[in-house]
């Protein structure tokens, strides 16, 4: 069976699951104005990250469904292309999905991603942030982002994300928040 055929079957299965099984959120998202929940996850390089590592700077914590899928690739590459703009705004970017470290290695290498992709294969962090979606047969992280202020408080929760414009949207919000 070719890779294309396997991928097509997988996408078809996801569509069938989405149509016939109800999508259920697992957990509630932390609210804007509250401290970011603590966690510790490993990235594609084997390094460990937690929110406290980023105190004193803005943190873009974006959750995405699956490595190597079209929307997730678009979103990640837009963050990649804007990474210097984020750094100019004293901001770090972290991507999180329920994929494992090995999947993140391949995704980051294929698209030259210059920021950490955190692996959450136990779904603990996705559940804590209320972004885990349960389709009974599979669980994925919903495409949502938390913009965390330098003091560790959630400034903005983006629960509806368009991967085409999301990076630019966050940059505009950072500009607005930093000028207030």
77 tagged catalytic? no
The gap from C-alpha 164 to its chain's centroid, in whole angstroms, comes to 14
User: Quick one: pLDDT at residue 137?
Assistant: 78
Tally the C-alpha atoms within 13 A of residue 146's C-alpha that lie toward its C-beta. Answer: 27
Distance of CA 47 to the CA centre of its chain: 17
**Domain 22-179, second-level architecture:** 3-Layer(aba) Sandwich (3.40)
Residue 24's CB: how many other CB atoms inside 10 A? Answer: 11
Give CA–CA dist 12/18, Å, rounded: 10
Where do the structural domains in the chain lie, given as residue ranges? 22-179
CA dihedral angle for residue 126, residue 36, residue 64, residue 162, rounded to 10 degrees? 140
Q: Is the dihedral of CA 35, 36, 40, 46 positive or negative?
A: negative
* Residue 22: per-residue pLDDT: 45
Q: Return the pLDDT at 138.
A: 84
Q: Would you state the pLDDT for residue 23? A: 47
Which has the closest alpha carbon to 38: 117, 124, 119?
124
Output phi, psi for 6, to 5 deg. Answer: -65, -45
Catalytic residue among 41, 60, 61, 72: 72
pLDDT at 70: 94
The tens-digit pLDDT sequence of the chain (180 residues) is 566 566 666 655 555 555 444 445 556 888 999 999 999 999 999 999 999 999 999 999 999 999 999 999 999 999 999 999 999 999 999 999 999 999 999 999 999 999 999 999 999 999 999 999 887 778 899 999 999 999 999 999 999 999 999 999 999 999 999 997
- Residue 12 has a pLDDT of 58
Q: Please report the pLDDT score of residue 135 as a whole number.
A: 74
């Amino acid at each position: 069976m070719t890779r294309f055929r396997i991928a097509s079957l997988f996408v078809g299965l996801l569509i069938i699951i989405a149509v016939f099984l109800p999508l259920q959120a697992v957990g509630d998202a932390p609210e804007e104005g509250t401290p970011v929940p603590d966690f510790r996850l490993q990235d594609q390089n084997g390094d460990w990250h937690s929110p406290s590592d980023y105190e004193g700077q803005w943190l873009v914590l974006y959750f995405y469904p699956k490595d190597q899928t079209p929307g997730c690739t678009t979103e990640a590459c837009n963050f990649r292309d804007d990474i210097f703009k984020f750094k100019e705004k004293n901001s770090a970017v972290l991507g999180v999905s329920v994929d494992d470290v090995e999947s993140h290695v391949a995704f980051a290498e294929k698209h030259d991603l210059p920021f950490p992709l955190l692996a959450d294969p136990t779904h603990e962090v996705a559940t804590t942030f209320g972004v885990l979606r349960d389709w009974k047969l599979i669980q994925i992280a919903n495409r949502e982002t938390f913009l965390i202020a330098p003091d560790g408080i959630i400034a903005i929760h983006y629960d509806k994300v368009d991967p085409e414009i999301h990076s630019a949207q966050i940059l505009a919000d950072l500009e607005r928040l930093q000028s207030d």
